[in-house]
Chain A
């Protein structure tokens, strides 16, 4: 029995460390290879020993697919390919391929240089790993080998994020990675065609949330920033280098442009600058507005946003600064925060979630006095929270399921409790089964793959000619010979099959005797049979031959007197096996007897 097996090594009823193994049609594919933010020990990477105890990974896996560049989707890649050892192809989109190494390098630096970890992957390993990457375009069908093919769809979320369709023969799986169904200022919405996969593996981060319109949030954000700078205050926006930072930059840049504002906007240098460069390059991956206007001006070539210098923080007058990192736990953003916190005219806007224990979390929960390097810091500046998230909400997930029309759905990348709700909803609304395996738990799904058979054109045309109006979408019976040869199937007409196989045709006839009570002569019986059949089978050609027999199409009926009982006539019905249907119908009909004709 063919089946699809799915085992999440990470992201099963959990967020982070996305890594899902899929076996489909005898092929093994690994989807994403991420790290977990919450752990610093072995648990941060997926347990690759699950895949194979003592063989090489390359022998077991046919390919690895990375959906986007977030570290919880690609963070374990160098470890996996260089330290555990995998030499097969790794597929990702072009932007992911470009940005992924920057983030990996950053991650490595923090782990090794700051935290001093040993036994971590090196820069060289990142480079070697990236050499194994095969970049794919959107909607490009890539043949991994003769049978396995993959295809990328646009997913929104971050630059270069993609959903992947994995297909072997007629079986297919779609993996969404992370996606966003509402467009934002720099990216479009995820889209997939009606590909009707056997299984849809979707993220479910916001399984129990229906979000408000994005516009209100944007408007609020802009209004707050604008009011503050008009008052002469300074605005600090702590961000992580990629993704949201660009969205907010675009948002502010266009607003500045529209409102003709002159207040300077800065973003901290380094990572962001490098990433902006890639955003400029991959303009085709952005949203409609940016794509349409880049001929005039590339939106990522910011006119109002300049690189930040440490000294600018002390400049008088209003300004807006984007600084890393996003949770105010270290680095530049914290430095600036410390400088500006005392003035009530200033404002800090937290555009995302903050982990407990960070300064960001403290100020968001309303703490006004902070202990910092042994000194008391009073926070007089305004603190705002603004959530800009790029995951699909419950409605979005349902919308995508509706678009793709899968036969089954599997939820990953979310909390178990929330998944439970969504699972129930999906089963209820779409009437498809839904699964939510935990890490290491295998889901086995039987499939019924269809087997393609090539039909000879002659046969098809002949069949078409027989019935004038082909009723679309209704099954039709077709007579032919199935030839299985060298692993492919062909359906040809029987004459051709005989010819090809060099066989002579054997005639196969069924004969059947039907006893009838009739005292009249054979001729008359035959005549009665003839008139009876003629009246019943209006659509068929019924003939009375001169030798006294009756034919219906190619079926022969002869009447003879019973040797023993003269009152009984024996009807001999004979038909070839091709006419089995009609023949058996006729015998059944004749067995019922002839009507008592008035003649």
Chain B
């Protein structure tokens, strides 16, 4: 018994002691932080062998060091450095010094002396290189300190003569990064000799080691980047390096030449072996062009890329890049392009039937043929034919940039671009189509070129076809045959790939409105009208017929004579299409018909069309609902929501605004309805059940507000305030409902607290917008805040309830541009009756192809969800590379989703849909306190969730049991 008692005593005693210990421990932990250096010191002293020491250092390097203890650590390290004999440990210490000096809040000038000191006594080349690297870190940390920079440059110069390439490399790097700018050198009276950094670096262009040569060029480029004006003398040195044996040297040299050519485009340089002189930029252009046929593809890519940005080059040089004098058996031969052009101009459409059609004609003077061009000859011809697609892409890009700045060049490069449409790599084809689109303002397609372009419409890749449609939207066609050809090919495309319907219609819309005069003579043929006979009325649902009509109606907009050619049913079809496809069919002034818009309001300005006005008006009306009785308000809201939804369906360009406002109104409607509930008038405990409606409403409002906040692009801060305000109201509602339905004060206490925090948060986030929220819920709430803070939950709820009922409906200002994010899953189509069979436990890959509209940053927000019949849901994050960006505001997701499940007895459907993930902290601007590490108010901010934003697609799958 005594023992038992004793034990109990001890138990209690120990308990107390333990608590104390814990407290002490926590304190100790804080104390040990600064003495990290001491621990390191002990470790290093313990180390018996260099390998041990290295291990300790490696361990040490894994943990971060605070700014205040850096200096101590550095001292310890240095101390150890002096004693250490093993170069590998010294190397590690040197690298640690570099890392430490990068610590924010630590000024490394105090360790510079030591670093320079140990540098002088160091023998190992590797350690030297590392130390120089450390000095570089120190130097870049102190960009203001001239004296330090001068000293470091001095050190670097001293070690430039080192025998190891690594040390020379680092020295040059140091010079490039810290070499002072000329003017400051003169001013500086430090006593250190002012050095011409450029001269020093330039001397190392002829170093024996290619790595050092590269480093020297890079250092020179670095100087340029830091704003130092390079001397023109460097140009000749760099030109010599173009014939270096090593690719990295050549690659860097090409860059340097480009830089110099941009600095001194107009200076004159002599052409070797002749008396002529040319502009430097032309000379450099020729030299870089020559590098397009270099032996190394890295250099070729580099050269091709840089060519694109040399816009000052004279046009005569530029056009040479597309010129390749052909010959066959010493006779001049015309290129296929020239022949095509000639055929076209002679009026013959197609030929090339005869052997020897391309037979060479004139004799060439053997002396005049120059097989190796000094200039730019044929650079792009070579670049576009290159073996590596990287080079071809670079060449296409360069071509694009040059063509944008020079219309005449654009005309010339057209043939080559068209040729690239048949490249074997899809990326290259796509790139060239995009390029063509970008330069399409400067060009008009010839018929034979158009023919080649249109041939690509049959490509099986949707990307390519869509890019081509975009291209056709903005091309200029020269003849009516061209238009006809385009239409025929587009219709062919439509029958082959019916999914392209919208894209083709859009394409024809632009094609029509660009070329009204060319379409005019085609109209009778296209509509198959006959001067004497009535022809059968075409099927109105035929997409091809609609396509033709879209072309014609858009052309008719600027061509008033055209409607005279229409037959009766055409007018009827016009009226129908104008209604159903209003974004594709413009308003026409048709003879004998009153134009609707002019009848109603002739005074409206053209940019404010009636539907826009309608939207405004209905919204205005809603905002007056404050004065209506509840019943009336509800009805008005319901009607308006209905109107808005219909409007959104009809007018696709207004869909975003209409939906956005409708959603907001729906929230308000829900709120009003919830507040109209009878439950508020009756004693609380009786209405447990009916409050369902109110809490459901609160929940729905929350959901809708998230949708409003994250599903629309173009939402501005003033809308966000309103949305948050609505959400706050919903939360208040939730709180009240909970207060009414739950018994006991404990849970309520927490909820109240949370709610008040959210109010607080709201205030902090939107302090600037508060003046706009006069008379609103939050405005009143904030007035009463001091009182609320001190009140009991029951009282808070009461106040809230009152305020909620009194609060006014806030006017939602409409943003300029607002679009709802939407997604359509194209594939899987969900129509297949054949289940996708796979062995259970293994995976099956399901191709998902979807278009996303108006999604910002889809790479991080769009997810794919798979719902299995057993309720299991799987969320897949597509790779960033799976998203393509075919146009502004549009994205395309092409990915593979892996499905797997245990065996089923029957095939069953899984649902695939796209989700939009959101993170509410992303939108709210970060305020300083958040960085301070306060956690409490972030509760609200870090809400994450997903909104489904595509129609789910059902996929029939059948996991079979594995056969043994």
Kindly state whether residue A222 has any CB partner on chain B within 8 Å.
yes
Stretch at the interface among B305-313, B383-391, B692-700: B383-391
In the complex, which residues of chain B have a beta carbon less than 8 angstroms from the beta carbon of A208?
327-330
Chain B CB within 10 Å, residue with most, of A182, A215, A365: A215
| Between-chain CB contacts (< 8 Å), 18 pairs | A182-B385, A183-B387, A193-B295, A194-B295, A208-B329, A210-B371, A212-B326, A213-B335, A213-B336, A213-B385, A220-B352, A258-B460, A259-B459, A289-B425, A365-B355, A382-B353, A470-B208, A472-B208
Kindly state whether residue B638 has any CB partner on chain A within 8 Å.
no
Other than the given A383-B353, A429-B371, 18 more pairs (CB < 8 A) read A183-B387, A192-B295, A209-B328, A209-B329, A210-B326, A211-B326, A212-B326, A215-B419, A222-B422, A260-B460, A289-B389, A364-B355, A385-B356, A385-B357, A429-B372, A472-B207, A473-B206, A473-B208
* B422 adjacent to A219 (CB under 8 Å): yes
Q: Which of B293, B425, B459 contacts A399 (CB 8 A)?
A: B293
Q: Would you give the shortest CB distance from A220 to chain B, in whole angstroms?
A: 6
Kindly state whether residue A218 has any CB partner on chain B within 8 Å.
yes
In the docked arrangement, what's the CA distance between A399 and B355, Å? 30
Residues of B within 8 A of A (CB): 161, 163, 206-208, 245, 293, 295, 324-330, 333, 335-337, 352-357, 366, 369, 371-372, 381, 384-389, 416, 419-420, 422-425, 452, 455, 458-461, 496
Residue of A nearest to B338 (CB): A212
Q: Would you give the shortest CB distance from A425 to chain B, in whole angstroms?
A: 5
Kindly state whether residue A257 has any CB partner on chain B within 8 Å.
yes
Q: Would you give the shortest CB distance from B752 to chain A, in whole angstroms?
A: 61
* B385 adjacent to A259 (CB under 8 Å): no
* B326 adjacent to A383 (CB under 8 Å): no
Residues of A within 8 A of B (CB): 182-183, 185, 188-189, 191-194, 208-220, 222-223, 226, 254, 257-260, 287-289, 350, 364-366, 382-385, 394-395, 398-399, 402-403, 418, 421, 424-425, 429, 464, 468-470, 472-473
* B366 adjacent to A468 (CB under 8 Å): no
Q: Would you give the shortest CB distance from A559 to chain B, in whole angstroms?
A: 41
* A260 adjacent to B496 (CB under 8 Å): yes
* B355 adjacent to A215 (CB under 8 Å): no
In the complex, which residues of chain A have a beta carbon less than 8 angstroms from the beta carbon of B352?
220, 384
In the docked arrangement, what's the CA distance between A515 and B496, Å? 109
In the docked arrangement, what's the CA distance between A215 and B382, Å? 12
* B327 adjacent to A218 (CB under 8 Å): no
Q: Would you give the shortest CB distance from B568 to chain A, in whole angstroms?
A: 36
Q: Which of A258, A383, A384, A424 contacts B459 (CB 8 A)?
A: A258
Q: Which of B206, B329, B459, B460 contacts A472 (CB 8 A)?
A: B206
Q: Would you give the shortest CB distance from A28 to chain B, in whole angstroms?
A: 31
Residue of B nearest to A217 (CB): B336
Residue of B nearest to A287 (CB): B387
In the complex, which residues of chain A have a beta carbon less than 8 angstroms from the beta carbon of B371?
210, 394-395, 398, 425, 429
Given contacts A188-B387, A220-B336, A259-B458, contact A425 B369 (CB under 8 A): yes
* A194 adjacent to B355 (CB under 8 Å): no
Q: Would you give the shortest CB distance from A391 to chain B, in whole angstroms?
A: 13
Chain B CB within 10 Å, residue with most, of A182, A194, A208, A217: A208
* A424 adjacent to B381 (CB under 8 Å): no
In the complex, which residues of chain A have a beta carbon less than 8 angstroms from the beta carbon of B354?
366, 385
In the complex, which residues of chain A have a beta carbon less than 8 angstroms from the beta carbon of B326?
210-212
In the complex, which residues of chain A have a beta carbon less than 8 angstroms from the beta carbon of B295?
191-194, 403
* A212 adjacent to B327 (CB under 8 Å): no
In the docked arrangement, what's the CA distance between A217 and B385, Å? 13
In the complex, which residues of chain A have a beta carbon less than 8 angstroms from the beta carbon of B461?
258
In the complex, which residues of chain A have a beta carbon less than 8 angstroms from the beta carbon of B388?
288
In the complex, which residues of chain B have a beta carbon less than 8 angstroms from the beta carbon of A192?
295
* A226 adjacent to B206 (CB under 8 Å): no
In the docked arrangement, what's the CA distance between A286 and B293, Å? 20
In the complex, which residues of chain A have a beta carbon less than 8 angstroms from the beta carbon of B329?
208-209, 418
In the complex, which residues of chain A have a beta carbon less than 8 angstroms from the beta carbon of B424?
185, 254, 289
Chain A CB within 10 Å, residue with most, of B295, B369, B416: B295
Q: Would you give the shortest CB distance from A474 to chain B, in whole angstroms?
A: 10
In the complex, which residues of chain A have a beta carbon less than 8 angstroms from the beta carbon of B385?
182-183, 213-215
Chain A CB within 10 Å, residue with most, of B295, B387, B423, B425: B387
In the docked arrangement, what's the CA distance between A254 and B422, Å? 10
Residue of B nearest to A426 (CB): B371
Q: Would you give the shortest CB distance from A174 to chain B, in whole angstroms?
A: 14
Residue of B nearest to A354 (CB): B355
Q: Which of B208, B325, B386 contacts A183 (CB 8 A)?
A: B386
In the docked arrangement, what's the CA distance between A211 and B388, Å? 20
Residue of A nearest to B340 (CB): A216
In the complex, which residues of chain B have a beta carbon less than 8 angstroms from the beta carbon of A226?
455
* B452 adjacent to A212 (CB under 8 Å): no
Please list the 4 inter-chain residue pairs (A to B) with the smallest Cβ-Cβ separation, ordered nearest first: A216-B336, A472-B208, A183-B387, A385-B355
In the complex, which residues of chain B have a beta carbon less than 8 angstroms from the beta carbon of A288?
387-389
Q: Would you give the shortest CB distance from B548 to chain A, in whole angstroms?
A: 22
In the docked arrangement, what's the CA distance between A223 and B461, Å? 19
In the complex, which residues of chain B have a beta carbon less than 8 angstroms from the beta carbon of A218?
422
In the docked arrangement, what's the CA distance between A330 and B371, Å? 41
In the docked arrangement, what's the CA distance between A418 and B369, Å? 14
In the docked arrangement, what's the CA distance between A418 and B366, Å? 11
* B336 adjacent to A212 (CB under 8 Å): yes
* A260 adjacent to B458 (CB under 8 Å): yes
In the complex, which residues of chain B have a beta carbon less than 8 angstroms from the beta carbon of A287?
387
Residue of A nearest to B420 (CB): A215
In the complex, which residues of chain A have a beta carbon less than 8 angstroms from the beta carbon of B207?
472
In the complex, which residues of chain A have a beta carbon less than 8 angstroms from the beta carbon of B425?
289
In the docked arrangement, what's the CA distance between A385 and B366, Å? 28
Chain B CB within 10 Å, residue with most, of A213, A222, A399: A213
Given contacts A258-B460, A289-B425, A403-B295, contact A212 B353 (CB under 8 A): no
Q: Which of B357, B372, B384 contacts A398 (CB 8 A)?
A: B372
* B372 adjacent to A402 (CB under 8 Å): yes
In the complex, which residues of chain B have a beta carbon less than 8 angstroms from the beta carbon of A402?
372
In the complex, which residues of chain A have a beta carbon less than 8 angstroms from the beta carbon of B459?
258-259
In the docked arrangement, what's the CA distance between A212 and B336, Å? 7
In the docked arrangement, what's the CA distance between A397 and B356, Å? 25
In the docked arrangement, what's the CA distance between A386 and B384, Å? 21
In the docked arrangement, what's the CA distance between A289 and B427, Å? 11
In the complex, which residues of chain B have a beta carbon less than 8 angstroms from the beta carbon of A473?
206, 208
Chain B CB within 10 Å, residue with most, of A257, A402, A468: A402
In the complex, which residues of chain A have a beta carbon less than 8 angstroms from the beta carbon of B387?
183, 188-189, 287-288
Chain B CB within 10 Å, residue with most, of A191, A193, A385, A469: A385
* B455 adjacent to A257 (CB under 8 Å): no
Q: Which of A213, A260, A385, A399 contacts B384 (CB 8 A)?
A: A213
In the docked arrangement, what's the CA distance between A383 and B326, Å? 25
In the complex, which residues of chain B have a beta carbon less than 8 angstroms from the beta carbon of A384?
352-353
Residue of A nearest to B364 (CB): A208
Q: Would you give the shortest CB distance from A186 to chain B, in whole angstroms?
A: 10
Residue of A nearest to B464 (CB): A258
Q: Would you give the shortest CB distance from A70 to chain B, in whole angstroms?
A: 22
In the complex, which residues of chain B have a beta carbon less than 8 angstroms from the beta carbon of A366?
354-355
In the complex, which residues of chain A have a beta carbon less than 8 angstroms from the beta carbon of B161?
468-469
In the complex, which residues of chain B have a beta carbon less than 8 angstroms from the beta carbon of A468?
161
In the docked arrangement, what's the CA distance between A308 and B726, Å? 73
In the docked arrangement, what's the CA distance between A570 and B388, Å? 79
In the complex, which residues of chain A have a beta carbon less than 8 angstroms from the beta carbon of B372?
398, 402, 429
Residue of B nearest to A193 (CB): B295
Q: Would you give the shortest CB distance from B373 to chain A, in whole angstroms?
A: 9
In the complex, which residues of chain A have a beta carbon less than 8 angstroms from the beta carbon of B420?
215
Q: Would you give the shortest CB distance from B695 to chain A, in whole angstroms?
A: 54
In the complex, which residues of chain A have a beta carbon less than 8 angstroms from the beta carbon of B386?
183
Residue of A nearest to B352 (CB): A220
In the docked arrangement, what's the CA distance between A353 and B459, Å? 32
Q: Would you give the shortest CB distance from B489 to chain A, in whole angstroms?
A: 12
In the docked arrangement, what's the CA distance between A213 and B325, Å? 11
In the complex, which residues of chain B have a beta carbon less than 8 angstroms from the beta carbon of A364?
355
Q: Would you give the shortest CB distance from A263 to chain B, in whole angstroms?
A: 13
In the complex, which residues of chain B have a beta carbon less than 8 angstroms from the beta carbon of A259?
458-460
